[in-house]
């Protein structure tokens, strides 16, 4: 299961799409994206970078709950019990897109951009997740702003979480290669 971390989403500039794609290219790794509330914005941000095709496998915009279940393999009982706005759903989406599109890494977004609450969750409740070769991480966000602002902050936060996981993965590999020093 992915580790869940909290955040208010009010972070600094963070990682850019170009930075994460560069890290992936250096490692000969790939990424796939599963998006709900962001509706393709993460994929658009990544594919706006020249040379993205070297590391970007593709994306699934799983806006509908049945797409999360049928395409990404999110558990139907989980969706029925908790709804689509849930940290485990985000983790399962990231893992599912990684598997379905054959990528080294999967990243995902799910949440409520507004204008109305969804699944009993208030506007601004967002979960972003990363699934990789050695596990994953999910961040719980509480974002302020209008619909467009919440969606863009979600894009930024999933890229920041992904960058952090890529850096952690590289440190772990370096430590293992150096005999745990």
Q: Note if the pTM is more than 0.85.
A: yes
CA distance 112 to 143: 10
Confidence tier at 169 by pLDDT (50, 70, 90):
confident
Q: What ranges make up the beta strands (E) of 62-124?
A: 105-111
pLDDT in tens, 3-48: 444 544 433 345 799 999 999 999 999 999 999 999 999 999 999 9
Boundaries of every domain in the chain: 3-176
Please indicate whether residue 179 or residue 140 has the higher confidence score (pLDDT).
140
pLDDT in tens, 42-69: 999 999 999 999 999 999 999 999 999 9
C-beta separation of 86 from 4 below 8 A:
no
> Mean pLDDT, to the nearest integer, of 159-165?
96
* DSSP for residue 86: S
Q: What is the pLDDT of residue 85?
A: 98
Confidence tier at 1 by pLDDT (50, 70, 90):
very low
CA distance 22 to 118: 36
pLDDT at 93 over 70: yes
Q: What is the pLDDT of residue 119?
A: 87
Q: What is the pLDDT of residue 111?
A: 98
pLDDT in tens, 105-135: 999 999 999 999 998 999 999 999 999 999 9
Domain 3-176: which CATH number of 3.40.50.720, 3.40.640.10, 3.90.950.20, 1.10.287.110:
3.90.950.20
């Amino acid at each position: 299961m992915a580790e869940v971390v909290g955040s208010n989403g009010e972070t600094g500039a963070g990682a850019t799409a170009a930075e994460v794609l560069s890290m992936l290219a250096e490692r000969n790794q790939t990424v796939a994206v599963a998006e709900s509330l962001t509706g393709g914005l993460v994929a658009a941000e990544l594919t706006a970078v020249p040379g993205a095709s070297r590391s970007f496998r593709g994306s699934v915009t799983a806006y509908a709950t049945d797409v999360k279940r049928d395409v990404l393999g999110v558990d139907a009982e989980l969706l029925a019990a908790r709804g689509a706005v849930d940290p485990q759903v985000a983790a399962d989406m990231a893992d599912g897109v990684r598997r379905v599109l054959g990528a080294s890494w999967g990243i995902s977004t799910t949440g409520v951009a507004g204008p109305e609450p969804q699944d009993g969750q208030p506007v601004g409740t967002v979960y972003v997740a990363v699934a990789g070769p050695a596990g994953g991480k999910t961040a719980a966000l509480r974002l302020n702003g209008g619909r467009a602002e919440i969606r863009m902050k979600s894009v930024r936060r999933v890229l920041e979480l992904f960058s952090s996981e890529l850096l952690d993965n590289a440190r772990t590999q370096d430590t293992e290669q150096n005999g745990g020093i």
